[in-house]
Amino acid sequence: MIGKDAWDRAVEVLAGASEVVVACHVDPDGDALGSLLGLGGFLRRSGKRVFLTWGTPGPSVPPRYAFLPGLDAVVDPEDVPEAPEVFVAVDCASADRLGVLLGRFGGAAATLNLDHHVSNEDFAEINLVDPGAASSAELVFDLVARMGGVPDLAEATALYTGIVTDTGRFQYASTSPATLRTAAALREAGVDHESVATAIFESSSLGFLHVLGVVLARARVDQGLVWSWLSTADLAACGLALDETESLIDVIRTVRESCFALMLKEMPDGGWKGSLRSRGEVDVAAIARSLGGGGHRRAAGFAFAGTPEEAAGAVLGLATSQGCGEAYPADATPPSLEAPSGVPEATAAP
């Protein structure tokens, strides 16, 4: 719950500002982009000079979010003032999620932190953090309302995208009556929810299907954990970009013999990015924090420098204390970095 003083201070600072930087976390997902564009668009309509970005040089948007209006306003982080008047971080659980923008955040005259991650570190002067919210986009909607505004259609579409992605199309436990009321208000603003759903959940490239096949062929259930992995070589062979793989974890998490899921993706600069999802029995945020990451009880992530097998082993070791592994038999076949017998490795489409 966010206190009235924090809300009032945020409204005061933003209302009085002439220049605002709004940045989301690196490797943005739907909620990060939706919050960024929703808040940034409203502030620009309010007559402010606004810089929209995230901390990756040459920021690019995952194809599934290319439909979002306002993306043409996103700038390279190098174009952001070194000492901005106000800097708003949205959907960032920690300051380091700002990437190369961390220095500019520290140099701002006023800083705001708007987020819903339970692991948030309250790293700004003004912290609008509510772990009870299903998405950061909901908090942006509330902030705009407290500033006396109403999202226009472009902003509403961005905010609806943030909500629908972070709630898994309203199926996750975090979806509250308030979440649904906010979504209804955005629909009343004219959001075409069918087009949003089609673009995000029902549109993929052939390369994605090939990569999905590789990931599913490697998937294993070990003591309640279903996990798989994807290398940069797999992506190259299938002609797919890393930012097109966000939804892989949502497929493997459906295995009924598991109580939580791990998807490991090799990073271009080395190491692995681990995405965790839970059916509720396991607090994956606690696991991620132990591995240097963070997130929510049912959705979290971390970075890992070892092998995929070592990452899965580390996750299982941390989950044992929560009692998940004891309720499920171990896989008779240990996870392997080799493709299962009879299943071809990833190959380029003919």
Domain boundaries, the chain: 4-200, 206-327
One DSSP character per residue, 232-282 reads HHHHHHHT--GGG-TTHHHHHTT-TT-SEEEEEEE-TTSSEEEEEEESSSS
Query: pLDDT tens digits, residue range 291-345?
Result: 999 888 888 999 999 999 999 999 999 998 766 654 444 443 334 444 333 333 4
Q: Measured between alpha carbons, how far is 52 from 74 in angstroms, rounded to an integer? A: 5
Return the pLDDT at 349: 29
For residue 171, give Cα distances in angstroms to 192, 204, 225, 335: 19, 21, 21, 30
Q: In CATH, what number does 4-200 get?
A: 3.90.1640.10
Mean pLDDT of 107-133: 96
Query: pLDDT tens digits, residue range 13-65?
Result: 999 999 999 999 998 999 999 999 999 999 999 999 999 999 999 999 988 99
Question: Residue 168 — left, alpha, or beta (φ > 0 → left; ψ -120 to 50 → alpha)?
Answer: left
**Strand, coil or helix: what is 70?**
coil
Helix (H) / strand (E) containing 1: none
CATH fold for the domain made of 206-327: Diaminopimelate Epimerase; Chain A, domain 1 (3.10.310)
Query: pLDDT tens digits, residue range 147-200?
Result: 999 999 999 999 999 999 999 999 988 999 999 999 999 999 999 999 999 999
Read off the tokens for 71.
């993306």
Q: Is the Cα dihedral 164, 165, 166, 167 positive or negative? A: positive
Average pLDDT, the chain: 91
Return the pLDDT at 264: 98
Query: pLDDT tens digits, residue range 79-98?
Result: 999 999 999 999 999 999 99
